[in-house]
Amino acid sequence: MSIIFKRRKDGEESKAIRLIILFLTLVFLGLIATLCFTVREMDSSTMEPLLHGSGSDPTCSGDILLIMTRPLPEHIKEHSLVLVQFTWSGKTVETVREIDKTEGENFRPPGTTNMITIPEGWCCIAAKDPRGIDSRLIGLVHRTQVKGVVVKVFHGGCRTAANVSD
């Protein structure tokens, strides 16, 4: 190392090495954070009062969600908020829903009266608003359709006593 760093006093070389290691560590952590997390604004009102969406009011901002984009199967569990992708009316929809039921539980598929046991790797998603698109309309969702798990909610503007549950 003395070829790279001219030694002026004892310890200056080790201080420079520590600074380089600190810098590389910060770069590595930044890269991990970029690859494993995303930040989204909730735009739909179908999860109120749990999550506030910006909806049609351009003066309001929805809640900000920190989402882990590479969830492990054990992160996809009952009551987790997840970023899920599915097809509805020929369009790909990506939205946040709550995991309602997971594998091994009973579920009634849309349009039937028969109950089935949810197979491994599948789950039910639920919107808080009865008009929201969820497993009541689209059926079961596979684990591969879960694109992320919400790890933190930062409540945005335009939240009133009427739409705040916490």
* DSSP notation for the chain: -TTTS---STTHHHHHHHHHHHHHHHHHHHHHHHHHEEEEE---STTTTTS---TT-TT--PPEEEEESS--GGGS-TT-EEEEEEEETTEEEEEEEEEEEETTSEE--TT-S--EEPPTTEEEEE-SSTTS-SHHHH--EEGGGEEEEEEEEE--S---GGG---
**Contact criterion met (CB below 8 Å) for 43 and 116:** no
Residues 107-124 pLDDT 10s:
999 989 999 999 999 999
At 161, the pLDDT band (50, 70, 90 cuts) reads: very low
- Does residue 18 sit in the same domain as residue 51? no
Single pTM value for the model: 0.76
- Structural domain includes residue 57: yes
- Does residue 28 sit in the same domain as residue 64? no
pLDDT at 12: 64
Higher-confidence residue of 157 and 105: namely 105
- Does residue 1 sit in the same domain as residue 78? no
- Does residue 32 sit in the same domain as residue 104? no
Please return the burial class of 98, using the count of CB atoms within 10 Å of its CB with bins 0-12, 13-18 and 19+. buried
For residue 71, what is the domain's CATH number? 2.10.109.10
Q: pLDDT over 70 for what percent of the chain?
A: 84
* Tally of domains within the chain: 2
- Structural domain includes residue 162: no
- Structural domain includes residue 78: yes
- Does residue 47 sit in the same domain as residue 32? no
Residues 15-69 pLDDT 10s:
888 888 999 998 888 877 778 899 999 988 899 888 988 876 667 788 999 999 9
Q: Quote the domain boundaries for residue 137.
A: 42-157
- Does residue 124 sit in the same domain as residue 144? yes
Residue where the block lists tokens 């039910």? 124
- Does residue 57 sit in the same domain as residue 32? no
- Structural domain includes residue 12: yes
- Does residue 64 sit in the same domain as residue 92? yes
- Does residue 1 sit in the same domain as residue 80? no
